[in-house]
Structure 1
Amino acid sequence: MKMGEDVRGAHSEGPQKLVLCVLCGLPAAGKSTFARALRHQLQQELGWAVGVVAYDDVMPEAVLEKASARPLPSQWKLLRQELLKYLEHFLLAVINGCQMSAPASRTEAMWKDFITCLKDQDLIPSAPVEAQSLYPLTKTAVSRPLLLILDDNFYYQSMRYEIYQLARKYSLGFCQLFLDCALETCLQRNAERPRPLPAETIHQMGNKIEKPNPEKNAWEHHSLAIQSPACASEARLKLTDLLITALENPIKYVEENLEQKETDRLICSTNILHQADQTLRRIVSQTMKEAKGMLSS
């Protein structure tokens, strides 16, 4: 794919180009290492601004007293929703070219970790965080194409669809990268970590994981499965092409209306069929009663 000037280095005239990239896979599949390498590659080769938001770095430590503990599924869901709010605040600042505001309702420790994440990647300036409610963006964040890589397991399709909905809401680019790593390899790597997950947890995720399915779901069209480790030149070319395609083809807001119309049509059709079925049942029931009455007389 030929790359125009607007995907290399300086940002061209027009709205800011943004891509939300979901990086998913089992624990210890190598996602964080892969994300760092991809960030360096895109910065060097395309001159993009790249931010990696690793959920493990932002969420657990903010709410757990013991470093080795893990939150319950219900806690994870609430944390994920809160982090989505943080991401939306950042996206709005980039889109509108203004300062990022702090959410009125937030977990202070988690918000501070999120701010630190942005600072470490030169997306907001390194300034004291205490008593600060507005955060200016750096030139890096607003002067060139921006890719936000969201690094988490995302083993359920619904988890990834939340990110797609956020991209659709603001007409951003969206893509998915699935790091395909053998379960045995993940278990081995996990065991070597300073704070490993219970092996049972990884086994459960391996059984439950819903890989991106572009053939079934239109919204997952821009997806790529990558073998871990991904070092083949062919994989790199496919990856770069996918990211550029996502950048150049943001989700159109009109798609939301079309999808809603299709949903409404299906609901309407279902209702009509249901009503017809109920009517038929009443007719049959009434006919049987009348026939029974005639026989008894």
Structure 2
Amino acid sequence: MKAGEDARGARSEKPKKLGLCVLCGLPAAGKSTFARALSHRLRQESSWAVGVVAYDDVMPDSFLEEASARPLPSQWKSHRQELLKYLEYFFLAVINGCQMSAPPSRTEAMWEDFLTCLKDQDLISASALEAQSHYLVTKTAVSRPLLLILDDNFYYQSMRYEVYQLARKYSLGFCQLFLECSLETCLQRNGQRPLPVPAKTIHLMGSKIEKPNPEKNAWEHNSLTIQSPACTSEARLKLTDLLLTALENPIKYVEENVEQKETDRIICSTNILHQADQTLRRIVSQTMKEAKGEQVFPYNLKLLAEELNKLKAEFLEDLRQGNKKYLCFQQTMDLSDVISFFHYEKDNIVRKYFSKQH
């Protein structure tokens, strides 16, 4: 498949299977090596679309430096949640067969590293649209079983549960792989690294790590412990079975009170629509005042007003009907997202008319 092939050419080919696999264990347990080998095997033997998202490669360098000194830095939780938002945007694009947009609020370096990670694995493609903060999902990603492997320590159960919640939200498959390795081996391997993690950090994680516990937590039932560095043929069969089970049995999102939730959704949607209408009217009005201040020709002012009002009407229709002309992520979008996207489209129009003056 060519990386340039995008989802627009494959909308009818809905992905049969989508899944998230959490790979956890101590630093230097061999997770990254294991993830790369597993990804290669699944692509070659099963023709799956596979992506490995290594947190060490995506988290900002300054954050990693801080984490190496302190296991729980002040930015620790916010960066992890931000990365989960990126994953959500990617899965939404795959599920809806549309382009992936950049989150309005993001850490630029982290977002760029996330994009590079997906591009290098043929999950999104580079295009001229990148200047507009939109990215094309490859045909490979939407036409084959798709598994994202999240490679991190995930030493607290709560870290993994956040990923489970994302899987549940979009009815994705979910499973956990715990790479078990002795503390001594991890410390020895870590000492041979160019940039080793402080030994005290590994000792601390070893004392606090919460292994998957399917007997206690029902949501962890799709879990497997694998010994590192060895992976026997029996373990490989169990691993394949785990992944297939996860993809073929996506988590079903159970709504406790369907009628009430639907009522709440309608009220929320109506409120956002009303607020968006009022806000976009003010933006259009302010833009026209600025255009007059720039002494745009009267005829161009008339055309500008027509285009801006048309744009406003289309945005509101997107919100009302979910046409997805502009708002691909309408079901998870709040007012700030709508305003951000509207400003972007509005600025493109305004530049066109201002340039006619010169």
Say whether the fold is shared (TM-score over 0.5): yes
Q: Structure 2 CA distance, aligned partners of 1:222 and 1:255?
A: 22
- The residue that corresponds to 2:238 in the other structure is 238
CA 1:26–1:256: 2 relative to 1, 3 Å: farther
- The residue that corresponds to 2:162 in the other structure is 162
- Give, in angstroms, the shift of residue 126 of structure 1: 3.2
Letter of the aligned partner of 1:182 in structure 2? S
- The residue that corresponds to 1:183 in the other structure is 183
1:87 equivalent in alignment to 2:87: yes
Q: Assess if the C-alpha contact under 8 Å between 2:173 and 2:249 holds in 1.
A: yes
- The residue that corresponds to 2:27 in the other structure is 27
The alignment of Structure 1 onto Structure 2 pairs a total of residues equal to: 249
CA 1:67–1:199: 2 relative to 1, 3 Å: closer
- The residue that corresponds to 1:216 in the other structure is 216
Deviations 1:250-286 (A, max 9, x none): 001127779xxxxxxxxxxxxxxxxxxxxxxxxxxxx
- The residue that corresponds to 2:143 in the other structure is 143
CA 1:219–1:66: 2 relative to 1, 3 Å: closer
Q: More helix per residue: 1 or 2?
A: 2
CA 1:113–1:128: 2 relative to 1, 3 Å: farther
SS in structure 1 of the partner of residue 53 of structure 2? strand
CA 1:235–1:107: 2 relative to 1, 3 Å: same
SS in structure 1 of the partner of residue 137 of structure 2? coil
Alignment of 1:243-282 (within 5 A): 243-254=243-254
Deviations 1:15-35 (A, max 9, x none): 541110000000000000000
Q: Assess if the C-alpha contact under 8 Å between 1:112 and 1:129 holds in 2.
A: no
Q: Gaps spanning 5+ residues in structure 2: where?
A: 1-11, 259-358
Alignment of 1:8-87 (within 5 A): 15-61=15-61, 72-87=72-87
Q: Structure 2 CA distance, aligned partners of 1:83 and 1:101?
A: 14
Q: Gaps spanning 5+ residues in structure 1: where?
A: 1-11, 259-297
Q: Assess if the C-alpha contact under 8 Å between 1:62 and 1:109 holds in 2.
A: no
Q: Structure 1 CA distance, aligned partners of 2:108 and 2:225?
A: 36
Deviations 1:180-230 (A, max 9, x none): 000000000001000001100000000000000011110000000000013
- Give, in angstroms, the shift of residue 128 of structure 1: 6.5
Tell me the TM-score normalized by structure 1. 0.78
SS in structure 2 of the partner of residue 254 of structure 1? coil
Q: Assess if the C-alpha contact under 8 Å between 2:56 and 2:64 holds in 1.
A: no
- The residue that corresponds to 2:116 in the other structure is 116
SS in structure 2 of the partner of residue 231 of structure 1? coil
Q: Structure 2 CA distance, aligned partners of 1:187 and 1:90?
A: 35
Q: Assess if the C-alpha contact under 8 Å between 2:168 and 2:252 holds in 1.
A: yes
Greater CA deviation, 35-44 or 229-238?
229-238
Letter of the aligned partner of 2:215 in structure 1? E
CA 1:254–1:37: 2 relative to 1, 3 Å: same
Q: Structure 1 CA distance, aligned partners of 2:54 and 2:22?
A: 11
Off by >6 Å, runs of 4+ in structure 1: 64-71, 255-258
SS in structure 2 of the partner of residue 131 of structure 1? helix
- Give, in angstroms, the shift of residue 178 of structure 1: 0.1
Q: CA RMSD in A?
A: 2.5
CA 1:25–1:45: 2 relative to 1, 3 Å: same
Deviations 1:96-121 (A, max 9, x none): 11110100000001100000000000
Letter of the aligned partner of 1:50 in structure 2? V
CA 1:135–1:166: 2 relative to 1, 3 Å: same
Q: Structure 1 CA distance, aligned partners of 2:144 and 2:165?
A: 23
- Give, in angstroms, the shift of residue 61 of structure 1: 1.8
More contact order relative to length (CA 8 Å, sep ≥ 6): 1
CA 1:67–1:242: 2 relative to 1, 3 Å: closer
Q: Structure 2 CA distance, aligned partners of 1:192 and 1:141?
A: 36
SS in structure 2 of the partner of residue 74 of structure 1? coil
Q: Assess if the C-alpha contact under 8 Å between 2:123 and 2:138 holds in 1.
A: yes
Tell me the TM-score normalized by structure 2. 0.65
Q: Structure 2 CA distance, aligned partners of 1:182 and 1:156?
A: 18
